[in-house]
Amino acid sequence: MPLRRNRRQYEQLTDFDRGRIIGLREAGWSNRRIGRHLGRSDMVVARCWQQWITEGRVYRRGGSGRPRNTNDREDRAIRRVATSAPTTSLASIQRHLPPFQTSSAIKRNHKETTDRSWLEEPTSAKTLTTDPTS
């Protein structure tokens, strides 16, 4: 018996694995057989199956986590200020917003905006060619 536990036991089940568990259970496999086949505990298989029977779903619920400090309207205001001038400092963004905005909320929104900004920019009209003269 190994001295350390297998790391896979502590990983979350993927949606694919949850679907496999349901499919194999419906095919008549036992919890223990499915667990050994997938490298999981038979109790993990039993909980997944029980969730499917009682709730009719196999996906994970969202975690409780800390509630957001800003609402959608405030997030849009932060994004608007951040996208108008991407090199704007945190202090100048804070001056344009209501005083209750925390710097961490502004940083998070600014990061989300700059990470997604490349999706919203129009692509260049230049086409790619193999001819080096053009």
Tokens representing residue 76 in the block: 């849009």
Q: Give the containing element (helix H, strand E) for 74.
A: helix 72-84
**pLDDT at residue 30, rounded to an integer:** 95
**pLDDT at residue 82, rounded to an integer:** 75
**pLDDT at residue 98, rounded to an integer:** 66
Per-block mean pLDDT, blocks of 10 residues, the chain (134 long): 58 88 94 94 92 82 73 79 76 71 68 57 47 54
